[in-house]
Structure 1
Amino acid sequence: MRDFMDYVLTAFHHKTGWNVDNSYASLTTTANNLLDFNVPHGLSLHVSSLSSPNFATSYTLGSKGVVDGSLSFLYTSLGLNVTSRSSHIPLANLVRGYRHLQHLSLPKGKALNDVQDGGTSIAGDGRKDTLLYGRLYLPSSSLEALYLRRLSPNRLLRLNCVSDATLPSGGTVLALLQNDFGKYTTEYLYSTDSSLLGFRALYNFGYDPRYPLDQQHVSSRPARHPWDHQNGRLSAGAEAYFSPINKSGGISTGLRFTTLPIHTGFPYTMTLTLNPLMGNLSSSYAVKAGPNLSLCSRFDFNVYSYESDVSLGLELWQLSRPRVPEEVAWVKDLIRPGWEPKVAPEKVVPDEDVTGVLKARMTDKGKVGVVWECRLKELLVTLGAGLDLKKRDSVVGKFGLEVAYSS
């Protein structure tokens, strides 16, 4: 289940108008959510609080053979009036599942200097929203920190810092400058670890949010809606990085096609990534097979060693009572006289009917992971186990329980 601090960070991105999905780093987010979810190990307790719209705290106590924990603090210059009580936060905002991507739009900054409105710039109040986050791990005394700053409506600066005595230099800093122009995005990164330099880029084919629709030859028929012509979006991206100290580097490239809300059938996402230097090829297909069910498959192959791996996963939402999906009423319009296309509503299960979410994955190597996430009174509970079907003497590899409460 999503960490409370991550939940607050997502709220910060949403309120500042930053699209985290329009990035090469998030190209395979849907498949990762359905196949690479974390299985809890041992017993852990999370207590968090959004004491004010600008300040949040979180405390974690865990037991994995030894007692450990962490202290977290978060500050943002932008007031976040979001639901923080664990009994009221929608499970859809806490469970990492199938990602419904929305139509492209220009980044908007409500409190930034240059807010674009219809292609024109208007003056803001001069604020550049900032977020600070720190986490201290005990008893190791390791420290991690995050600094976010919206430099402009289409630019975000991110600094990740880690202080740990076990690292070669006692710590490391990763700087990431992200630029989002709607149609395409670019990212520049630098890490003090080996002086690593990197560059990422993502390009979206089709609709360009920078220009009016009538200037784009995307459809021969009149558009009833600005995005009426586009049922899906194809994105292509690449990254390259190089370390002058180690004199080594790497490159990768990828494709993603995903359906948009106007699509009339089942939502689905397909991705293909390639690392030519390492010879790794990965393809995935995820589908929202129903209002309560998501399925995903991924195939990994190495062209040099001929090693392969197949992973299958599912996500099943349990409801307290059956309910007619919201999109059924929209489909009924198809048989009405004088029907005209319109934007399909977001296919989301009403949270008041959700009692839990089951996530499971399995690989061709016999590795199985199962997680059950639910709300129990005022608590958020995650129960999971990792299995290895090929080890008959120790099938259960790990087992864990996580309990979270926030106010």
Structure 2
Amino acid sequence: MLEFMDYIQHAFYSASHWNYENSYSQLTSTARALLDFETPRGLRLNVSSLSSPNFATSYALGSVGLVDGSLSYLYTSLPLHATSQSGKLNLHDVIRGYRQIQELRKPEESWMWEQWLGGKRVDQRDTLLYGRLYLPQSTLEALYLCRISPTQQVKLSAVSDSRLKNGGTILALHQYDVGKYSAETLYSTDGGLIGLRGLYNFGPDPRKEVPEPPRADDRPYGRFSAGAELYYGSLNKSGGVSFGGRYATLPAHKGIPLTATLTVNPLMGNLSTSYAVKAGKNLALCSKFDFNVYSYESDLMLGCELWRMKKRVEKKMERSMAAKLAWTVDEVKEPTTPEPEEVAGVLKARVDENWKIGILWEGRIKEMLFTLGSSIDMKRKDQPFRALGLELQYSS
């Protein structure tokens, strides 16, 4: 489940019309959400608040053998009107599961961002500032995010910790996205790392062509994307490269939604494939197979997620006073739009070839969100439960 500050950051992306999913780093997001989820350890409590459309705070307290916590503050120049009460949040927005990619949208023109007053431009770029202090380690995290144009974004991340080399590290990331393709350039002070990655979407260009109308048959209707990343460490004189591809159905697809990915790291000899399918309205299945061509080692992992919906309570119709006086009944008016189903919770489970099992149950109790999970090792008969944890979140 997303932390409150991550949820607010995604709300900033939506409000500033930035497509967070159109990136090479998000190529395998569906498989990671279904298979690589983290199970909580110990007890943890998060209390957060969006006190104003521009300011948010969050406090965390945990106990895993040692009591620790953190203080977080966030400011954005763009007013955010997202739902912040934990009792009213849509769980699909905070629980990472099967990700249905959307149709590409045309980016805004630069002149749409211009604001003039007295013959002078007075428009400002949307920015986000975030800081988090971990206690008692005294580790400090900072984030600066700025939308410099409708197609560009700059992101600066920094960590200050006396245990790190040189006392900390800084990561600078420049992102460029026009819908049809996206490119990212990054630099990190940790090892002098320089990187470049990009993603290209095959099919219609949202800047030039009109999206294809929905099809009436069951033929596959999706999008194929391919990308690569290249990075080089200037201090340790080492580099790396990877290639990847993804095919995913679009919302207009009439059949079963599915997502298939393939990533290759030629230098390390690693090959990874994943296949996820929405087997039912509330059920998703996923599998991942990793293979190394140098050592011939392989790994297989299976996972699933099951969403549980609350039962709808039928409202009893009572006659109005006018109907009682006329000895008649009121006309029943059918709603024009059906009421959306309310999520009660979601169950996630995974297992690998070594019989290591991960189970996670996420949902809401009254006004509080919860995450309950456990890690199980079936080969250890004496102590199969390796970890058990509960995380509670409340926001206002």
Residue 351 and residue 82 in structure 1: after superposition, are their counterparts in 2 closer, same or farther (change >3 A)?
farther
Aligned residue type for 1:291 = K
Tell me if 1:401 matches 2:378: no
- Partner residue, 1:333: none
Q: Aligned Cα RMSD in Å?
A: 2.3
Give 1:300's match in structure 2, choosing from 277, 286, 290.
Answer: 290
Residue 25 and residue 224 in structure 1: after superposition, are their counterparts in 2 closer, same or farther (change >3 A)?
closer
Tell me if 1:184 matches 2:174: no
Residue 230 and residue 185 in structure 1: after superposition, are their counterparts in 2 closer, same or farther (change >3 A)?
farther
Give 1:156's match in structure 2, choosing from 153, 157, 163.
Answer: 153
- Partner residue, 1:355: 344
- Partner residue, 1:198: 195
Residue 227 and residue 67 in structure 1: after superposition, are their counterparts in 2 closer, same or farther (change >3 A)?
farther
- Partner residue, 2:47: 47
- Distance, in Å, in 2 between the alignment partners of 1:71 and 1:227 is 52
- Partner residue, 2:257: 267
SS in 2 for 1:169: helix
Given that residues 230 and 262 in structure 1 are in contact (C-alpha distance below 8 angstroms), is that contact kept between their aligned partners in structure 2? no
Residue 107 of structure 1: CA displacement? 3.0
Residue 108 of structure 1: CA displacement? 3.4
Give the total of aligned pairs.
367
Given that residues 230 and 260 in structure 1 are in contact (C-alpha distance below 8 angstroms), is that contact kept between their aligned partners in structure 2? no
Given that residues 16 and 108 in structure 1 are in contact (C-alpha distance below 8 angstroms), is that contact kept between their aligned partners in structure 2? no
- Partner residue, 1:345: none
- Distance, in Å, in 1 between the alignment partners of 2:213 and 2:382 is 63
Residue 230 of structure 1: CA displacement? 8.3
| Cα offsets for 1:364-384 (capped at 9, x unmatched) | 111110010111011111110
- Partner residue, 2:77: 77
Residue 370 and residue 131 in structure 1: after superposition, are their counterparts in 2 closer, same or farther (change >3 A)?
same
- Distance, in Å, in 2 between the alignment partners of 1:154 and 1:181 is 6
Aligned residue type for 2:30 = T
Structure 1 segments unaligned to the other structure (5+ residues): 215-222, 324-348
Aligned residue type for 1:114 = W
- Partner residue, 1:3: 3
Residue 350 of structure 1: CA displacement? 3.5
- Distance, in Å, in 2 between the alignment partners of 1:359 and 1:82 is 27
- Distance, in Å, in 2 between the alignment partners of 1:125 and 1:98 is 42
Residue 181 of structure 1: CA displacement? 1.3
- Distance, in Å, in 1 between the alignment partners of 2:96 and 2:261 is 18
Residue 127 of structure 1: CA displacement? 2.0
- Distance, in Å, in 2 between the alignment partners of 1:145 and 1:27 is 26
Residue 227 of structure 1: CA displacement? 13
- Partner residue, 1:283: 273
Give 1:369's match in structure 2, choosing from 348, 358, 361.
Answer: 358
- Distance, in Å, in 1 between the alignment partners of 2:115 and 2:141 is 37
The structure with the larger Rg is 2
| Cα offsets for 1:73-125 (capped at 9, x unmatched) | 0000000011111000011111000101100113338xxx5339xxxx99886
SS in 1 for 2:191: helix
Residue 126 of structure 1: CA displacement? 1.8
Tell me if 1:94 matches 2:83: no
- Distance, in Å, in 2 between the alignment partners of 1:233 and 1:165 is 46
Structure 2 segments unaligned to the other structure (5+ residues): 314-338
- Distance, in Å, in 2 between the alignment partners of 1:122 and 1:260 is 36
SS in 2 for 1:5: helix
- Partner residue, 1:344: none
Given that residues 90 and 351 in structure 1 are in contact (C-alpha distance below 8 angstroms), is that contact kept between their aligned partners in structure 2? no
Given that residues 92 and 351 in structure 1 are in contact (C-alpha distance below 8 angstroms), is that contact kept between their aligned partners in structure 2? no
SS in 2 for 1:31: helix
Aligned residue type for 2:38 = N
Residue 102 and residue 227 in structure 1: after superposition, are their counterparts in 2 closer, same or farther (change >3 A)?
farther
| Cα offsets for 1:1-60 (capped at 9, x unmatched) | 110001100100011110011100000000000001110000000000000000000000
| Cα offsets for 1:245-300 (capped at 9, x unmatched) | 10000000000000001100111100000000001100000111111001100001
- Distance, in Å, in 1 between the alignment partners of 2:395 and 2:372 is 18
Aligned residue type for 1:200 = R
- Distance, in Å, in 2 between the alignment partners of 1:17 and 1:177 is 17
